[in-house]
Amino acid sequence: MAIRILIFVMVVLSLGSLSCGLGEFNDGRCRMVLEANPVRLDGEQVMMTRQQVDCGANNDLWETPQLFGEDRATARLSAGGRALKFDDDVTVFEPGQSRPSVQVRGEFPLQVLEIVNTKDDEPGVKLVEVKLGINFTHSCFTTPLRLMGVRKGKFSQDVNPVVRLRQDGSSWVVERLMH
């Protein structure tokens, strides 16, 4: 009798694990949808550390940062940086930003760092505020580069991106990042 119960429990747990992420929309399903397929990003901004900026300059991803006035420094992107899908010069510092940042363009696998908030926008549509990162296959970037959100039409390091997910039959798909 105990063996039958044990087998029943194992079957139920196995079936439960197969349906993980299916059915009701929850944080686990949201994470699965966001990380399942590369997402097209056009002109989004990611944050870096000063160490990553220095490493990128030392590895010919961009030039050594140049100071422009007292409050702005940038590093001109090189072919190596463009090959990684960076799309504009690195902003090392500028007013209102505490960390270096750079624009990205292309398809990227996303990594969910934290789901902050989920709300219904309309039937079959969810808006998800999420801390998202992009993993790059380069020794300068051993941790995901965090995507910046938008506030009042400007990228802000203090704002998380909001992703619009749309239900497509029984599954969910990433529709776009909200701006």
Question: Looking at the domain assignment, is residue 17 inside a domain?
Answer: no
| pLDDT attached to residue 119 | 94
Question: Looking at the domain assignment, is residue 10 inside a domain?
Answer: no
Question: Looking at the domain assignment, is residue 9 inside a domain?
Answer: no
- Domain interval for residue 105: 25-177
Question: Looking at the domain assignment, is residue 11 inside a domain?
Answer: no
Integer CA distances (angstroms), 130 to 1, 72, 104, 159, in order: 47, 29, 18, 10
94-146, pLDDT tens digit by residue?
988 899 999 999 999 999 999 999 999 999 999 999 999 999 999 999 999 99
Give the model's confidence band at 72: pLDDT under 50 very low, under 70 low, under 90 confident, else very high.
Answer: very high
| pLDDT attached to residue 23 | 59
1-50, pLDDT tens digit by residue?
545 444 444 444 443 333 333 457 899 999 999 999 999 999 999 999 99
79-106, pLDDT tens digit by residue?
999 999 999 999 999 988 899 999 999 9
Count other Cβ atoms within 10 Å, centred on residue 19.
Answer: 8
Question: Looking at the domain assignment, is residue 37 inside a domain?
Answer: yes
Q: How many domains does the chain have?
A: 1
Average pLDDT estimate for 156-168: 95
Question: Looking at the domain assignment, is residue 30 inside a domain?
Answer: yes
Question: Looking at the domain assignment, is residue 116 inside a domain?
Answer: yes
Question: Looking at the domain assignment, is residue 1 inside a domain?
Answer: no
